[in-house]
Amino acid sequence: MMVNPSKRIALAIARAARLRAAGNSWQAIGQLLGCRPQTCLQWTKQYPAWWNHVYRQVQMEKWREMCTTCEQVLRKNLRSTDAKDRRWAANLILETAQRDPTVLSPEAVAEAELVHAAEAQLRVIRVTVNGTAG
């Protein structure tokens, strides 16, 4: 039989899950919540469904934040003055989009496709102009 926590305990579990996902020890969590560390640790066993649900939500939130930050850095590299940085960012975005289309925004993928195509065209022009084509 699954036991549901009271509203007060559910809120405390949610705070504890956020703190734990941020890397805090049970000791630190207990101090921040004003209870014993053992009490906080018990919640994972006493209310496993609620703890897992909340902790998973927190992890997904952190994952989305990380993906957003990575996308911002990659898009900045797409606009770099260094061609090597542009190619690296475009390739990484396109490879990531192939593996999991939900990780990056469609705008980032579209921008990477444009940079990739422009860089490919520049390489063809350079090779042809230098007389080493073919």
pLDDT, one tens digit per residue, over 71-115 is 999 999 999 999 999 999 999 999 999 999 999 999 999 999 999
Round the CA-based radius of gyration of the chain to a whole number and report it.
24
CA torsion, ordered 5, 6, 11, 12, to nearest 10 deg: -70
Is pTM beyond 0.85? Reply is no
Please state the rounded mean pLDDT for residues 22-44.
96
d(CA 27, CA 44): 15
- Residues 121, 114: contact at Cβ < 8 Å? no
Nearest in space to 91 (alpha carbons), one of 62, 102, 66, 104: 104
Band of residue 121 on the pLDDT scale cut at 50, 70, 90: confident
- What pLDDT, on a 0 to 100 scale, did the predictor assign at position 120? 79
